[in-house]
Structure 1
Amino acid sequence: MTYCIGIRLNAGLVFLSDSRTNAGVDAISTFRKMMVYEKADDRFMVLLSAGNLSISQSVREILQVEKIHNGDNEPITIWNATSMFDAARVLGSAVRRVYEQDGPALRAAGIDFNVSMIFGGQIKGEAMRMFLVYSAGNFIEATRETCFFQVGESKYGKPILDRVLTPITPLDEAAKCALVSMDSTLKSNLSVGLPLDLVVYQEGSFKADQVVCIDDDNPYFKMIHTTWGQRLREVFEAIDDPRWDGGDADHPLMVGSGRFETVRKITTPNEKIV
């Protein structure tokens, strides 16, 4: 399994992925899930992938040469596309090409065609954009209301993203939030593991100077792991325990309600239960 996060903010983009792939408890391997496509002063794009490893690796290879045709004009590739939307269309075409080549054989072997990808970046002349690409090659785009995408084992790390991220979140704060989200996932799911790949892209730069591979010796991530767990316990302990009798509690748990009541069956000592 895997876990990848893509975040689109006013200030830039944040991408984070793990690198664990496993086919059982005794077959754990490390494969990078992130690919950066960069052309100086022209375009910067990042691809994160989850799902069947053979499919995602094939898509990544085909993507670099895949073309889509647009009338009589020059075929569109990720290297000459004038918009991220067109680049995402090229990625969708690459996914469908792999499905045409490998789908029947996978189906015959009882294996689903399973891949999902986050694709984001900026091409000179337009704003930053980010897309979530599905197994059919179709995609949706991140918006101000939904400024992040997750693929893979997403449920454990989603709450912190929902509570913290907004379009105006600073890049460093968003990177910290992504790392906390990843730490929560690592804590709860053994199918996600180190090392991690982190890229932080500043809007309009068409390059990323903040690129890091995080292993288990990384001092900042070790601090995140220790501090987040400790602060969660402190916050939990600071919340009042429930007061069942109400009394003078500021926040009583057991209160009367004309709308709901508990469904319960109370028997008398002599009543026979059938």
Structure 2
Amino acid sequence: MKKTKLLYIVITTLAVSQVYSISQINSLKTKVEQTENSLTYAEEGLGRNISEIYSNVDRKLQEYTSLVTSCGYEIGEFNLQTMKVPVTFKLQPKTLTETTVVFLKFGEEKIQMEKQGTEFVLTKAFTIKDEIFPTIIIEDMGILQFEDHYDLRVYKIKDEVFSSLTPRFEGESGYSAQEPYNYRMKGKIIMGSSFPSSGNSFKDIKYMVTLDDEVIKTYQADFVGVGNIEINDNFIMEGGQELIGKVVATDKLNFTHEYLIMHYVAGVREHSGHYYENEKIIAPNGTSIYDFYER
């Protein structure tokens, strides 16, 4: 009896010790994880600080070696007649004399800037698909100096003038590579959007499906910015027929924006899938002024 009692005591002691050990191990694991998280956070913070230091150093070096004390640009109002946007460039040279002349070079085109006090100014019109990387040329007494300055680069004029959608399809789709040909899509088109400061927002958005350029189905959106369009399609086709699905939006200036979502040719075994970055902008007179095709 004493041995049995002793055995129970030993077993109970071992069980309590094991529970305590497990508790201590779990506590230690938690502390290790917290330490690892703290180290990761510290490393990320250090990485950000180092990147910021390098960025500041690069900026200071650029300022030190630059030919100008300041420079920049302003984007004007979109001209509906010329379909162009005026951009005004301004800069102030570090060294300025009575004989200083300043030019901006756009590709092969070199244009003299107008002197206004200690500044030099130039306004030039561009199309919305232009990317602008002008070179500063400062001439004084026959000596030429050149600089490509980051603050004069204009990447996307389009986004300063027009609203933009970012539609993408989420769901299931499939097709038959042999007769009878069909194409199926079930899910939703998720829409994000951005608007320019000019206020030219969208007034109508829809998803349209065409078969050989004929509209066969339209989904009207009940929003003009962010939202979803639910779709459920099953199209029966003949060999060689072309099926296209695209989001079509109209803005306040009556420009049409088309975003390709789906493209399928019946009988073609390799389907290109869904698109996310295709965009076309068409003027009210039918002229295409912007066309980006995702490769």
* TM bracket, shorter-chain basis: under 0.3
**How does the TM-score come out when normalised to structure 1?**
0.20
**How does the TM-score come out when normalised to structure 2?**
0.19
Compare relative contact order (CA 8 Å, sep 6+) and give the higher one, 1 or 2. Answer: 1
More helix by share: 1
Radius of gyration: which is bigger?
2
More strand by share: 2
